[in-house]
Structure 1
Amino acid sequence: MSRKKSTIYLDEAADMRLEAVARKLGASKAELMRRFIDEGLIRTGESDPLPPLPKYRSEQPLTVDEMDEAIYQSMKRRAQKR
C-alpha cells in the first residue's frame, strides 16, 4: 500500500503524551498516529473493521491443523477486505 505524506500540528502536551506512549509501546509516533486514525475511521463507520483472528477457546480445543486452517481462513478474509 502506498502512503501519502501529511502534516499535522499538535499542541505540546499532546505531542509529549504521544511520545511517551510511543516509547512505552516501542513504536514510532507516526505509526501510532496511523493506528489512531485507522481506529477512528472504523469507529465512525468510514472504514470496515477487519475480522478478528480466531481465538483459542479452552472449552473447544483445536488440533494444530485446525488452528492453522482457522488462522489461514481468517487472514484470507482480512486480505480480501484490503
Structure 2
Amino acid sequence: MKKTTVYLPEDLEVRLDAESSATGISKAELIRRGVAMLLENAERPKGTQRLPVFDSGRPLTPEAMDDTLYGHIKERAARR
C-alpha cells in the first residue's frame, strides 16, 4: 500500500471518528472503502476523446483536395 495524506473538514473528521468507533473499523479502512465505492460508481464519458487536429498551413477547397489526392494516387499507380 501507499501512504496518502488527506485533509478533512472538522465535521467530517468528527463523523469519521464516530463511525470508526461505532463499527470498530479503522478510519483508514473506512476512507479506503469510500474511495473504492466512489471509483466503482464513477461514470466516465465514453467516446469523448477528441481527434487530433493539425494545420497544414494552407486551406484547400474540396475540389483542390480531390485534385491533390488524385495526383498522389496517379503517382503511386505509375510506380507499380
Question: Normalization by structure 1: what TM-score?
Answer: 0.51
2:22 to 24, 31, 38: 24
Q: Which has the larger radius of gyration?
A: 2
Q: How many Å apart are 1:45 and its aligned residue?
A: 4.8
State, as a whole percentage, how many aligned pairs show the same letter.
41
Specify the alignment match of 2:60 in structure 1: none
Runs of 4+ in 1 over 4 A off after TM superposition: none
Question: Structure 2: any 5+ residue segments left out of the alignment?
Answer: 45-80
Specify the alignment match of 2:5 in structure 1: 7
Higher normalized contact order (CA 8 Å, seq sep 6+, divided by chain length):
1
Question: Structure 1: any 5+ residue segments left out of the alignment?
Answer: 47-82
Paired residues, what number? 44
CA RMSD of aligned residues (A): 1.3
Specify the alignment match of 1:37 in structure 2: 35
